[in-house]
Amino acid sequence: MGDLWGPTMFFSVLGFIFLGYPVAFVLAGTALGFAFLGSVFGDFDLILLRALPDRTFGVMSNYTLLAVPYFIFMGTLLEKSKLAEDLLETIGVLFGSFRGGLAIGVVGVGMLFAAATGVVGASVTAMGLISFPVMQRHGYREDISLGVISAAGTLGQIIPPSIVLIVLGDQMGVSVGALFRAAVIPGLGLAACYVTYIIVMALARPGSMPPMKEAGSTTNGIALARRVLRSMLPPIILILVVLGSIFIGIATPTEAGSLGAVGAILLSSLNRRFSMRILQEVMEDTVRLTVMVIFLLIGSTVFTLVLRGFDGDLWIADILSNLPGGALAFLLLVNLLVFFLGFFIDFFEIAFIIVPLVILPAQILGIDLVWLAIILAVNIQTSFLTPPFGFSLFYLRGVTPTSVPTSQIYKGAIPFIGMQLIVLFGLIFWVAT
């Protein structure tokens, strides 16, 4: 079979994933199966598999990836201790007297919650549970409410300390701190686009986003100041300390993550929201997601090793680096593939399957890997928001009442998809030129 082993193995893995088999086991199992078959035909040297124990140990001892469970713990604890809910209600009171103010508050909370959790599923689910009933109660149009919630929840893909960026940094061999710094402008830019859209819609269709009736009586005075100091200031300080320590360079993402985890415990304790039951739930969620990431990474390590044994990485690099149109064609093709795969498989699968294969051609074409990572993060964010398969829409569907039609969720997401595509293509053309 010669040169066909690599392409056949790559598409076989995608086929098994689309059939619904667990991704980590598909990656490792398919790779080992092809390694055996390749050795039978004399096209693969099984001695390469001797590197697997060292590579597996390297995954388990990866210092950068240690930041993942810390940030998951921090975000999950802030969610389960209801601190995020208090934050939303306070911002709602501050902005609620304005048309669209509650929606702007949702975007603001989405940014802060994204910075706290870095996990889209947690952000969208929490925002749906907390925000949608409040927006319904105050007369917000369903499609607008759902669109704002789903878009604000996906900001966890790009706003630091995003777990997506931590994984991309590890896979691409670039500084996580550099990724965090680069992601600030696109993340804030997207949030600004959302707020602008909300303001325009509130002016154009006043009845779609009315002001909160009770906001006017509670937006002044010492009571509000105390509420802001109690509900808003501590989480904001925690996030700024965590991110600031990374940006300034006095702490690694792992060290900052551990600081964030301790800070979340202190905040929940000071608010009398910390208990052994909550701690158990948070630790179970943290372990579950962390183990999933580790198993995926081990599986991708086996897959990458065998694929390189068949020179499959060189085959992919040769195709992608010799496209007509150079860097622009490469970025458009890779992003189209990632966008499509984002409908069917989670980000982690994409990061461990696709990302290692595009690094070499990107380097050949002179593309900055930091900005390639940012583009991929924005791409996945957009894919997660796009009907009918977007993961964020599924998360939101799971926490909204059955009386709400799925079509309303799709309708609400469309304007935000347009904004994200504008930012995505802007980044692609900027990096390519």
Give the model's pLDDT for residue 253.
Answer: 79
pLDDT tens figures, 332-345: 988 888 888 777 66
375 near 424, Cβ under 8 Å?
A: yes
- Percent of the chain beyond pLDDT 90? 9
Question: What pLDDT is stored for residue 16 in this prediction?
Answer: 83
Helices (H) and strands (E) in the chain, counts: 22, 0
Instruction: Cite the beta strand spans of 274-395 per DSSP E.
Output: none
pLDDT of residue 427: 92
pLDDT digits (tens, 9 = 90+) for 100-125: 888 888 888 777 766 655 566 666 77
Cα angle 432, 165, 89; round to 5: 115
Whether the pLDDT of residue 290 is over 90: the answer is no
Instruction: Tell me the mean pLDDT in the region 262-269.
Output: 88
Nearest Cα neighbor of 110 from 97, 127, 98, 91 is 127
Residue 254 has pLDDT above 90, yes or no: no
Strands (E) across 117-272 are located at none
Provide the mean pLDDT of the chain. Answer: 81
Spatial distance between the Cα atoms of 125 and 343, rounded to a whole number of angstroms: 18
Among residues 108, 60, 102, the alpha carbon closest in space to that of 84 is found at 108
CB-CB contact of 259 with 242 (8 Å): yes
| 374, pLDDT greater than 90 | yes
Other residues' Cβ atoms within 10 Å of the Cβ of residue 118: 27
Asked if the model's pLDDT at residue 418 lies above 80, the reply is yes
H or E stretch covering 419:
helix 406-432
- Comparing 5-14, 384-393, 407-416, the range with the smallest average pLDDT is 384-393
- Confidence at 45, pLDDT banded by 50, 70, 90: confident
- Neighbour-count burial of 68, counting CB atoms closer than 10 A to its CB (0-12 exposed, 13-18 middle, 19+ buried): buried
Check if the beta carbon of residue 395 is closer than 8 Å to that of residue 124: yes
Q: Is the pLDDT of residue 219 over 80?
A: no
Cis peptide bond upstream of 161, omega within 30: yes
The model's confidence at residue 372, banded by pLDDT at 50, 70 and 90, is very high
Distance CA 227, CA 86 (A): 9
**Cβ pair 149, 132 in contact under 8 A:** yes
- In the chain, what are the domain boundaries? 2-62+292-432, 64-290
Position 5, amino acid: W
Model pLDDT, residue 216 = 47
Q: Cis (ω within 30 of 0) for the bond into 388?
A: yes
Indicate the burial class of 249 (C-beta count within 10 angstroms; 0-12, 13-18, 19 or more).
Answer: exposed
Going by the DSSP 8-state scheme, the letter that residue 390 receives in this structure is -
Residue pair 257/71 in contact (Cβ under 8 Å)? The answer is: yes
Band (369; pLDDT cuts 50, 70, 90): very high
Euclidean distance between the first and the last CA atom of the chain, given in angstroms as a whole number: 39
Query: Would you say residue 65 has pLDDT above 80?
Result: no
Task: Tell me what pLDDT residue 396 has.
Answer: 82
Give the per-residue pLDDT at 221: 63
Separation of alpha carbons 131 and 356, rounded Å: 38
Q: Residue 120: its pLDDT value, please?
A: 66
Phi, psi dihedrals of residue 168, rounded to the nearest 5°: -60, -40
